Structure 1
Amino acid sequence: MTGVLAVLLALTGTVPAVAQDNVIDEVVWVVGDEAILKSDVENERLNAQYEGRRFDGDPYCVIPEELAVQKLFLHQAEIDSIEVSDQEVLQQVETRISWLTEQIGSKEKLEEYYNKTSTQIREMLRENIRDGLTVQEMQKKIVGDIKLTPAEVRNYFSKLPQDSIPFVPTQVEVQIITREPKIKEEEIERVKKELRDFTDRINKGETTFSTLARMYSEDPGSARRGGEYGFTGRGELTPEFANVVFNLTDPKKISKVFETEYGYHIAQLIEKRGDRVSYRHILIKPRVDEKEIEAELNKLDTLANDIRKGKVTFDEAATWVSQDKDTRNNHGLLANPQTSTSRFEMQQLAGLISQEVAKTVEGMQIGEVSKPFTMINAKGKEVCAIVKLKNRIDGHKATISEDYQRLKDIVTANRSEEKLQKWIVEKQKNTYVRINPSWRKCDFKYPGWIK
């Protein structure tokens, strides 16, 4: 049902006769000139069911109110010209599709569950995810930059009852040294030849770039879309990749084979818009010979023994031996991107860095250096590594001295929520809202909906 028809139904209880045969939904709320349909609520309920979310109240009250609040933010975002990138939306859509398919069991079961085709599911998710990202950006603008002094943080927690002070799970600080096994020249030539063969097949009209990307590309994020990314800025790409795709001018031509830290690629231009480019690519990663892996593991084993004997420190070895460019200039110390500190909860270490690192660290003592092991790094490459447990902070009640940043984040989040709630209440006052009578019997979080 179109937005116009939905609003007509909400306001008059009927739609034009020519459209009545197509009415299969029900308008439950109208916020401004935007309708919230019963199907919108059902889709959100289904998503929540698979995510294991529990509602604090009746889902048929909580969900439409959440959607109504979202409409308020989206309306303001349109006024303020808030936009999000197509690439970010597409990446999250594919991640979401993969997760749902894995949870439900198969593509066919997913289609059956939603009673939609894969294309329709993607379109639904695309709109939902775009809206969600837009709301996040609008909220950031509303909240602004909240600055807190240490005194404000201390004052906040000094007033909390003891049983309300947050518990901090066990955290670790970890140093790492990684080495990339050498890739044989003949393997590199094999990969380059495979990509050149792809180019020849495309140029001869035997197949399309998209088909080959789906079949052979080792970039899981884009392979499902035929290698395609949405419009991307130069700063969002590695320099080597950007230099190639931003110099493409003819959509009918394929780039030469080129290398990045992820592997080897060919790329094809789709469209340019100002300082952004849309493209598709195929990534092939050279395979590492088992003998080369064994050789690097032996070198790291010798290095670990030298560190244990005091011949060299882990800090020195990380600086001069490690090939992990993100940590070697910091003596191998891993940084937590979520907290901007060097501390990781074990679950974070597994999810953000590597499950192999987390498993290795779990049973180690402070100061201990591990045996060498293999892992997949952030670039998707198999590397050899050793780690040192620099520190472990056992689980405890949060304190200002030990957990200041965590406590500051909590206070910041509370201040942000206060600002957003105040904004919602004010926005309600100046927004037309109509709720279907059968959907009004709710204890709403924001009582200003019904005027």
Structure 2
Amino acid sequence: MVHARLVLALFACLLTAHTWAQPGTEATYQRLDGIVAVVGDEIVLASDIRDRVTQAKLEGRTVTDDNECGLLESVLFEKLLLHNARLDSLEVTDAEVLGEIDRRLTYYMQMFGSVEAFEAEYGKSVAEWKAEFNEPVREQILAQKMQAEIDQSVRSTPAQVQDYFDAIPTDSLPLIPEELSYSELVMQPEVGEKQKMRTRNTLDSIRILVETGKMSMTLAATRYSEDPGSKYKGGCYQNIGRGQFVPEFEGAVYETEVGGYSPVFESDFGYHFLRVTDRRGEQYSACHVLMKPTFDPEALEQMQAGIDSVSVKLALGDLPFETAVFQYSTREETRNQKGQVVNPRDGGTRFGVDELDPNIFFLLQDLDEGGVSAPVQLLDEDNQAYWAMIQLNERFPAHRANPTDDYALFQQQVEAELREEALSKWIGRRIEETYVRVDAPYKACTMDMPWLTQSINATGALGSSAGSKAADGTEHRD
């Protein structure tokens, strides 16, 4: 069960038996499992540390006695978060747990290649596996929520940002390339019901040809499908975990018999039909053909006169650009913010010149601030044509980073340091209030935080009758 062990290592929470060499000067010995540390009401098992070691090795890291102690400290930190999350009555919903388990299951399916391989190596069904890891995953999410509570309390001030900037030597400040901010006015015809029906009927005729054996699925996909991810793979997707595709697609998969063909159905991507090639529990394989309805080309040509008219009004000063966007633009996401285009990278309004679509860049490069391009026809992400006019809002020349032009950049750095400082203080404060015990073979570990010197246990306030105290402040049960 070698691969099954890898799965357990990635979760770092299943109890197993294994022979292992302990860190420090302790002799190597056989240990099935047991408690090696306690943080408040939470325990750390020997298998927890073993699993972290295995995971680190899987990731290509070399594990020595020193960094095995570091792995222990990371587990202690997680247990401290979990202990305090319970004290603060933080909650995790079943939906959050199931979503995270499904996400991890998808990863394992990709690792093992199929449900059968996963179940064979793990020795349990997918349903049993999900049930077994429900509580460990709940605890991990709870710990993450506790850390998020700590992080959310951190806010920087302008003075802190300025002080951070002042402390950086000028020649160490990063060079920020030229950036542009722009707005757009877009005019694109809507896809009418007539075009939708035409696409649906065309696809249905293709489906009939495939289902009756007059055309292969591979040929249909290659010739007609508009899904770039499967077009040249016979339209097929293999070993897909449930929840990865849109609901309409998966609904058709689970309503169609294996080997059978679905009726034509609609999703946000367009119209599909599919053939189910395999389905086992939460995983399936299917081949499909996707066709996207397009608007009438004549409608696009007719829009040219409209956008030319708007362009003339803008040139004469009869119509402000923002007003023109509100009255004429058909792209809702920018129409509702006065045409301003937002950079998806950071949610800001600046784009590095290397981030811009080349067609947009060439329209902007010769404009003055406030200038508007002539109407031009472009293609969207679905390869659909549209008319557009682009306004250059502001140009930011290449420069050394500074708080005036790049405040958000420095703010992120300052708040990252503040979060680290706040977390360190939180850990130190909580350790003082929490019973912490570390047993052999980890008593000799050197750690970054004072787990063994400032806890309630170290002061003797708790645990004095539970077992003998070691000289270093840890408690060891005989």
Q: TM-score higher than 0.5 here?
A: yes
Q: Percent identity?
A: 17
Name the CA distance, whole Å, in 1 between partners of 2:76 and 2:447: 16
What is the correspondence of 1:314-325 to structure 2 with a 5 Å cutoff?
A: 314-325=321-332
Residue 179 of structure 2 is matched in structure 1 by: 171
Cα contact 1:210–1:227 (8 A) shared by 2: no
Instruction: Give the unaligned 5+ runs of structure 2.
Output: 10-15, 23-27, 31-46, 86-91, 119-138, 451-471, 473-478
- What's the counterpart of residue 202 of structure 2? 194
Mapping for residues 24-423 of structure 1, pairs under 5 Å: 32-34=49-51, 36=53, 72=75, 83=97, 84-85=99-100, 141-144=146-149, 145-151=152-158, 153-154=160-161, 156-157=163-164, 160-163=167-170, 164-165=172-173, 167-181=175-189, 188-197=196-205, 200=208, 217-220=225-228, 225=237, 230-231=242-243, 250-252=255-257, 254=262, 257-258=265-266, 260=268, 262-265=269-272, 283-287=290-294, 295-297=302-304, 299-348=306-355, 350=356, 354-377=357-380, 381-418=384-421
Change (3 A) 1:193 1:137: farther
Structure 1 runs not aligned, ≥5 long:
16-29, 46-58, 98-115, 124-133, 436-443
Richer in helix (by share)? 1
Q: Compared with structure 1, are the counterparts of its residues 229 and 33 closer, same or farther at alpha carbon in structure 2 (3 Å cutoff)?
A: closer
Q: 1:158 to 1:368 in 2, by over 3 A?
A: closer
Q: Which amino acid aligns with 1:406?
A: L
Q: In 1, distance between residues paired with 2:375 and 2:142? A: 43
- Judged with a 3 Å threshold, the aligned counterparts in structure 2 of structure 1 residues 204 and 135 are, in CA distance, closer, same or farther, namely farther
Report deviation, 1:137. 9.7
Letter in 1 for 2:51: E
Query: What CA deviation, in whole Å up to 9, does each residue of 1:85-125 have, x standing for no partner?
Result: 5786799999xx9xxxxxxxxxxxxxxxxxx99879x99xx
1:142 offset after TM fit, Å?
Answer: 1.5
Q: State the match for 1:8 in structure 2.
A: 18
Q: Does the 8 A contact of 1:86 with 1:230 survive in 2?
A: no
Q: Deviation string for 1:52-109 (max 9, x for gaps)? A: xxxxxxx7589x9699599859976999977555786799999xx9xxxxxxxxxxxx
Could you tell me how far apart the structure 2 residues matched to 1:117 and 1:430 are? 39
Structure 1 pair 117–288 and aligned structure 2 pair: CA distance change class (3 A): farther
Q: CA deviation at 1:368?
A: 1.9
- What is the Cα deviation at residue 316 of structure 1? 1.6
What does residue 51 of structure 1 align with? none
- The one-character-per-residue Cα deviations of 1:229-269 (angstroms, maximum 9, x if unpaired) are 7327xxx97xxx77x97799844484653364x43345899
Q: What secondary structure is seen at the aligned counterpart in 2 of 1:326?
A: helix
- Larger of the two Rg values belongs to structure: 2
Q: What is the aligned partner in structure 2 of residue 27 from structure 1? A: none
Q: CA deviation at 1:334?
A: 1.0
TM-score (norm 2): 0.54
Q: Are the equivalent residues in 2 in contact too, given 1:214–1:226 (CA < 8 A)?
A: no
Read off the aligned partner of 1:285 and give its amino acid letter. K
RMSD of aligned residue pairs (Cα, Å):
6.0
Give the AA of the match of 1:192.
R
SS of the residue corresponding to residue 392 of structure 1 reads strand
Equivalent residue of 1:306, what SS? helix
One-letter code of the match for 1:412?
E
Q: 1:106 is matched with which residue? A: none
Instruction: Give the distance between the partners of 1:325 and 1:297, measured in 2 at CA.
Output: 19
Q: Which TM-score applies when normalising by structure 1?
A: 0.56
